[in-house]
Amino acid sequence: MPRQKKQHLKRRKDGRFACRYKNLWFYGDTEDEALQAREEYKDAEKRGELITESPTVAEYALKWLPREKVKSSKQTYKEASILLRKLLDHIGNMQLSDVKASDIKNVYSTEFKDNADSYIKAAAQLYRALFDAAMADGHCKGNPAREKAARPHKGEEAEGHRAITAQEREWIETLCTDHRAHAAVMAMLYAGIRPQEAKALNIDRDVDTKKGLLYVRESVHLASSNQYERTEKLKTKQSRREIPFFPPLKKALEGKSGMLVQSAGGEAVTVQAWRSTWESYVFAMETAINGCQERWWGKKREHKGKKMPPFIRFTVVPYDLRYSFCTMCRDNNVELNTCIHWMGHKDAKMILKIYDEYTPERGKKEAEKLEKSLFGSQNGSQNK
């Protein structure tokens, strides 16, 4: 009797192998494991010993997540685990085949009642992927997370970023220039780099004062709850770019070397060190703006007998600086494709939707331009 030729299987994206029998899929970490699972099913079918119950959501999900997030960072995996735990707390003991759209909807309405819309969307994406995989593995006939009845509610809109005011820009340029955050603040404001790009920027390597260019070559991402990891894998292909070196930034970087963002001890910045650095910068700016710390506001000798105005807060956050750079570019008629390149976007959609807001400065310039175009020649002829 001729020897039966062994069937060869293709490796799936998740690294496993799969084979099929009667519209059912069988999986294994190796080809032999997948084929063995299929043969065991056939043998059980002949003996009448088939188990028709699907696994519980928890049993399947806790094996699925490590496969799904195998290439993710520790922080990304941790965030996905938190979202998955919210689901399992409600339907973890249910069999996959018994889960209905209303069960998924109940998770959203109880676990995500007051969350931001982006957080709810991340959960929905994860749950849909989970049941897509379960359906492909033959554990459920449909995906309850994708049904209309399971659609999550719209969450709270996250507070958007803004262009800083002319007064705030003057404060940034003139106050606290010796603070360790000042150079990074100026780079985000006058080069439009992202905060994660600022944390990876090396002044000696990425700043060419002779050519007048700043190069974005690396970024950082979370490697753990308190550690950043530098990477050349940037947010988009267009994020690797060069940006003109404008005078205020050149002045801020004079005499500086090493990493643009450093901890108080001069080491590579950690998550906590960056948070402390920014809090320290905000504290220093508010003290400089008001002339004293908040705890002494209205209590100093020169304040006595005076009706004191409210203590001025410095409410700028890092991404406001990048936002402001783009707004300044558009206010001063920088050509759109040039602006796209400097910002590191692949097209104009993000700039036109998020950054390209109306400002009084732009309105004034456009009004003057329109008046000159419509009435300039007419006024000239009348005067003549």
Query: 114-171 pLDDT, tens per residue?
Result: 787 888 999 999 999 999 999 888 888 889 999 999 999 988 655 578 899 999 999 9
| Averaged pLDDT, 320-327 | 93
List the domain boundaries for the chain.
Answer: 17-47, 57-150, 166-294+312-360
CA distances (Å), origin 382, targets 164, 367, 374: 43, 21, 14
pLDDT of residue 53: 65
pLDDT of residue 320: 94
pLDDT of residue 378: 53
Residue 118, token pair as written in the block:
């982006």
pLDDT at 367 over 90: no
Q: Is 93 in contact with 58 (CB distance < 8 Å)?
A: yes
Q: Per-residue confidence at 5, pLDDT binned at 50, 70, 90? A: low
pLDDT of residue 157: 59
Q: Is 131 in contact with 144 (CB distance < 8 Å)?
A: yes
**Which among 128, 148, 149 is positioned nearest to 140, based on CA atoms?**
128
Tell me the three state secondary structure of residue 268: strand
Q: Is 281 in contact with 179 (CB distance < 8 Å)?
A: yes
pLDDT of residue 49: 64
| Arch. (CATH architecture) of 166-294+312-360 | Orthogonal Bundle (1.10)
| Averaged pLDDT, 5-14 | 74
pLDDT of residue 192: 95
pLDDT of residue 377: 52
Q: Per-residue confidence at 364, pLDDT binned at 50, 70, 90? A: confident
For the ranges 39-48, 179-188, 262-271, 351-360, the maximum mean pLDDT occurs at: 179-188
pLDDT at 223 over 90: no
Q: Is 150 in contact with 105 (CB distance < 8 Å)?
A: yes
| Averaged pLDDT, 207-213 | 91
Residue 193, token pair as written in the block:
């780099």
Q: Please give the share of the chain, as a percent, with pLDDT higher than 90.
A: 51
For the domain spanning 57-150, the CATH number is 1.10.150
**What is the rounded average pLDDT for all residues in the chain?**
86
Q: Per-residue confidence at 190, pLDDT binned at 50, 70, 90? A: very high
> Which positions ≥6 away from 17 have C-beta within 8 Å?
9, 10, 11, 27, 28, 29, 30, 31, 33, 34
CA distances (Å), origin 247, targets 84, 173, 175, 187: 49, 11, 17, 11
